[in-house]
Structure 1
Amino acid sequence: MHFSDYAGYDGLGLAERLRSGDVSAAELMDCAIARADAIQPELNAICYPRYEEARKCAATAKLEGAFGAIPFLLKDSGLASTFLEGSVGSRLFAGMRSSTNATLTERFEASGLQSFARTTVPELCMAPTTEAIANSGPTRNPWDLSRSAGGSSGGAAVAVATGVVPLAHGSDGGGSIRIPASCCGVYGLKPSRGLVPFGPHRGEGWGGLAADGVLSRTVRDTAAALDGIAGTDLGAPYAAPSKPRSYLADLSRPFDRPQKIVRWTEAWDGIGIASVCQVATDSAADKLRALGHEVVDAPPPGIKFAKFLDAMIDVMAASVTLTVNGYLRSHPKIVASEALEPAILDAFERGKNISAETYGLAINRFHALGRTLAFYMEEYDFILTPTLTQPPVPLGQFSMAEDFVTFRRKIGSYTTFLAIINASGQPAASLPLHRTDAGLPIGIQLIGRFGDESGLLRLSAELERDAPWANVRAVP
């Protein structure tokens, strides 16, 4: 199978070819690995490859789930896999192994998604750009090599945008699926809190901010992936509302009335929004109106955004301390100061001094924000925002050489509309509906009510049918 043929199909399309006998799982794996090898020197999106072992697995693969046996990539986010090592983008955790799979890893496999490597991330997934020292250089944007691919699922977005795989695992604790989806021109949905399992090794990530999902070229691939991975696992501390019979089947179901969508016309604390990002939301609003929906302009609800950023910084720093100390106890000869990048080392030290009251207040701020947004959305079905306040940033703009607080506050002015939705637990997606005159992708974000992935996917599919994006592929 030639790459041009392979890349012309989304994941479900490749599965159809497999089931018809037109192509084998081994041929698909060969295409994916060849493409990964082709993009890696320039874009640096792949880590911990197991190519030969994956070829052997593909040669004997049985067709399972919606995707049969197609190539797939796991993010280097710490998701447990007995097949793939990892490091969470950190020299401290290099070559980390797991003796058991995460529940999500097993659900990916049961869906017919065959992992053959991991994708690059920033250290401990704590940046909106993927430039970890552990990766021996930055992960570059395939549309402009001088710019960031986004983060923390930067490698995953590059792999999807360049056709290595039609969909890839991502995770999102403050925008980490939606940021790289916007930067690289692919579709990225962050599910509602509790919809996708964290077990059995973990209960939550970052005080409930984190969620796992996929990045894809088509909405239907994301819908089919959710069909396979969504659902509470045993002992989970959170649970989203019951999922429908099938997200994929729901894509063809029309809305029973025009949807009311509020477009946020400003950000908090005077944070500026680049004109090209405003133009992208203007264009999306026009498309939604043309589809028969109602779009109204209004400011976002009043929240103390700087206080929210402080709460997020405290929770993330506490998470770094918990993670690093847990590892150091079993690896006493390792010196953290020699293995962590400056911003993460600072977070590690800062986290040691966070009081129980400070941590509890941070969690309460998250919960209060969730209440505020839930009441706000009683009047609306969806919220429309730019995904990011600026186009993809130049490499080096967000530097881990700074202290953690300065680093994260700068990020807050770039990802302003993202992390608040991690705090509220709502589903949100970045759609690749716009590009600059130079061809850089600019995403728009749609935010749904808690638990309404079905509606969010249906609205995304309407926009995709109106302005198809799947065949706009980056070819470095």
Structure 2
Amino acid sequence: MPFFDNQYAKRDGLELAHLLYSGQVSALELMTEAIEAANTVDPLLNAFCFPRHEAALNEARTATLRGTFGALPFVFKDSGLAARSHGGSIGSRLFSGTVSPEDSTLADRFRNDGFISFGRTTVPELCMAPTTEALQNGGPTRNPWDPTRSAGGSSGGAAVAVATGVVPIAHGSDGGGSIRIPAACCGIYGLKTSRGLVPHGPRKGEGWGGLAVHGVLTRTVRDSAAALDGIAGMEAGAPYAAPARPRSYLSELEKAFDRPLRIAKWAKGWDDVPIDLDCIEALNAAERALISLGHEVVEVALPPLDYSGFVEALIDVLCANAAMSVKDFLATSPKAGWKRLLEPAIRDAVLIGNDLSALRYVAAINTFHRVGRALDAQMVSYDFVISPTLTRSPLPLGELSMETDFRSFRRQAARYTMFLALMNASGQPAANLPLFRNSDGLPVGVQLIGRLGADAEVLKLSAHLERETRWADLKFDSTRANAPWQRRSLNVATSQPCR
């Protein structure tokens, strides 16, 4: 009989760790549960790739409990995070089967804190889309609440793994919203940490001109806080200093704020980009919850910045990185006809990146820095900002397609993700709050933005809102008989498993 009669999926990581350390369950039992759950979910939702099930079962069978989480089932995002025991593809047919010769600092920190990874989770090609529909994956990654819609991206597979209870915590990364987007689409919690807080090394010092950060996706705020306790902190040789942090993020969650907070509210978009009513209703629900907690919420004008100019700068940096990734790969693994192995938008990005001037790249980085100053100027008067996470509910699959040129693709994506990549440019912490469902039962997220380095405060306010709104009651119940990802209840074609 499955562990606790299908109770595994209902417990968060800290609760499972307690059961491990108290001897009430074994690491092998948990890993068996996780792999069985992944095998049930994946034929329809298509969230997992590069499985290492037998190796993970063997590791669990002989595991010595360590760190906060003991020996907890886990998955790495297929984002290129170096781990010698895991193949990968970064969502690309060109890179498929790539194996790193060394472990990253972050992979080591995850293992030392008690995580055992049984594979990777799906991403769009080169992680450059807000929806996970890479050809490499054999089909799109589907939203567990409505499999005709996107699970988000680029950490789309990771969000599905957490939302359906396959794992309570999954690795993610965020270079323009890639943790917050799928967290919003799948109804879970996702924190983009402050720049420099979580390591990139030892082979890299940053990603995408300082935009990208690593982190986790979880169902509970306390799991995110506990995971951050294990992975955060300065790394020797890193180009950015890690922000000051408390002794324990987890221990901060129960503390009260020493005064009522002043919170800014962004309810309109730059360049007159429309925001769906569902997203505004979610924002208003967050405002009501904050007021009930005794805080002040003030709707304010957006910081004055050139959003369309920022989007062009972002496109330039993405193109430069796409070109460099392909160049580095081909230098060691030449492939004839490699262009045919890239999707049209990414192939175009590589061509743009090859021709991009150094002057234009520097101008893009300077644009990011101007954005950071504009946002910081508004934060002087407020403790936090709330905004919609996305401008629309989860997108129908196929609406945002890479069958086009890269600039058109990213401009369209930038309208959907308007409030997200700006925080990557500024380096500020920002989290998706899963506290609302629309009339169709789809998750609609709210973004909570803090000052640079104020990750503990973002986590603490998130935990207060989690208790106030009881968003745990809205979580996806993967054990119910009519769970929407169960194949018998849907007339949706299944995906082909990716390698």
Determine the structure 2 residue equivalent to 1:396. Answer: 398
SS of the aligned residue for 2:10 comes to: coil
Q: Is the 8 A contact 1:336 1:345 kept in 2?
A: no
The one of 407, 420, 423 aligned to 2:422: 420
Confirm whether residue 39 of structure 1 aligns to residue 36 of structure 2: no
Correspondence list, 1:113-192, <5 A? 113-192=115-194
Determine the structure 1 residue equivalent to 2:21. Answer: 19
Shift of 1:180: 0.1
Q: How far apart in 1 are the matches of 2:66 and 2:440?
A: 42
Q: Is the 8 A contact 1:3 1:35 kept in 2?
A: no
Q: Which amino acid aligns with 1:22?
A: Q
Shift of 1:2: 4.3
Determine the structure 1 residue equivalent to 2:448. Answer: 446
Q: For each residue in 1:431-471, what CA deviation from the matched residue of structure 2 results, as whole angstroms up to 9, or x when unmatched?
A: 10000111100010000000000100000000011122335
Determine the structure 2 residue equivalent to 1:410. Answer: 412
Q: How far apart in 1 are the matches of 2:320 and 2:397?
A: 27
Determine the structure 1 residue equivalent to 2:99. Answer: 97
SS of the aligned residue for 2:123 comes to: coil
SS of the aligned residue for 1:131 comes to: coil
Q: Is the 8 A contact 1:421 1:428 kept in 2?
A: yes
Give the percent of matched residue pairs that are identical in Structure 1 and Structure 2: 58
Q: How far apart in 2 are the matches of 1:297 and 1:42?
A: 42
Correspondence list, 1:454-465, <5 A? 454-465=456-467
Q: How far apart in 2 are the matches of 1:213 and 1:60?
A: 27
Shift of 1:82: 1.0
Confirm whether residue 266 of structure 1 aligns to residue 268 of structure 2: yes
Q: How far apart in 2 are the matches of 1:8 and 1:196?
A: 28
Confirm whether residue 473 of structure 1 aligns to residue 470 of structure 2: no
Runs of 4+ off more than 4 Å = none
Determine the structure 2 residue equivalent to 1:8. Answer: 10
Shift of 1:330: 1.2
SS of the aligned residue for 2:58 comes to: helix
TM-score (norm 1): 0.99
Shift of 1:265: 1.9
Q: How far apart in 2 are the matches of 1:334 and 1:252?
A: 57
Determine the structure 1 residue equivalent to 2:228. Answer: 226
Q: How far apart in 2 are the matches of 1:86 and 1:73?
A: 12
Q: For each residue in 1:181-235, what CA deviation from the matched residue of structure 2 results, as whole angstroms up to 9, or x when unmatched?
A: 0000000000000000000010111000000000000000000000000011010
Q: How far apart in 2 are the matches of 1:296 and 1:275?
A: 19
Q: How far apart in 2 are the matches of 1:187 and 1:17?
A: 23
Q: Is the 8 A contact 1:143 1:474 kept in 2?
A: no
Determine the structure 2 residue equivalent to 1:371. Answer: 373
Q: How far apart in 1 are the matches of 2:212 and 2:284?
A: 30
Determine the structure 2 residue equivalent to 1:253. Answer: 255
Determine the structure 2 residue equivalent to 1:83. Answer: 85
SS of the aligned residue for 1:66 comes to: coil
Shift of 1:132: 0.3
Q: Which amino acid aligns with 2:455?
A: E
TM-score (norm 2): 0.94
Determine the structure 2 residue equivalent to 1:199. Answer: 201
The one of 319, 322, 338 aligned to 1:320: 322
Q: Is the 8 A contact 2:180 2:432 kept in 1?
A: yes
Q: How far apart in 1 are the matches of 2:56 and 2:470?
A: 32
RMSD over equivalenced CA pairs, Å: 0.8
Shift of 1:3: 5.8
Work out the number of aligned pairs and report it. 476
Q: Is the 8 A contact 1:50 1:117 kept in 2?
A: yes
Q: For each residue in 1:40-92, what CA deviation from the matched residue of structure 2 results, as whole angstroms up to 9, or x when unmatched?
A: 00100000000011000001111111111110010000000011100000000
SS of the aligned residue for 1:206 comes to: coil
Determine the structure 2 residue equivalent to 1:285. Answer: 287
Confirm whether residue 347 of structure 1 aligns to residue 338 of structure 2: no
Q: Which amino acid aligns with 1:335?
A: G
SS of the aligned residue for 2:88 comes to: coil
SS of the aligned residue for 1:208 comes to: coil
Q: How far apart in 2 are the matches of 1:15 and 1:474?
A: 21
Q: How far apart in 2 are the matches of 1:337 and 1:447?
A: 39
Q: Is the 8 A contact 1:343 1:403 kept in 2?
A: yes
Q: How far apart in 1 are the matches of 2:155 and 2:239?
A: 25
Q: Is the 8 A contact 2:184 2:432 kept in 1?
A: yes
Shift of 1:335: 2.6
Unpaired runs of 5+ residues, structure 2, are 479-484, 486-499
SS of the aligned residue for 2:69 comes to: coil
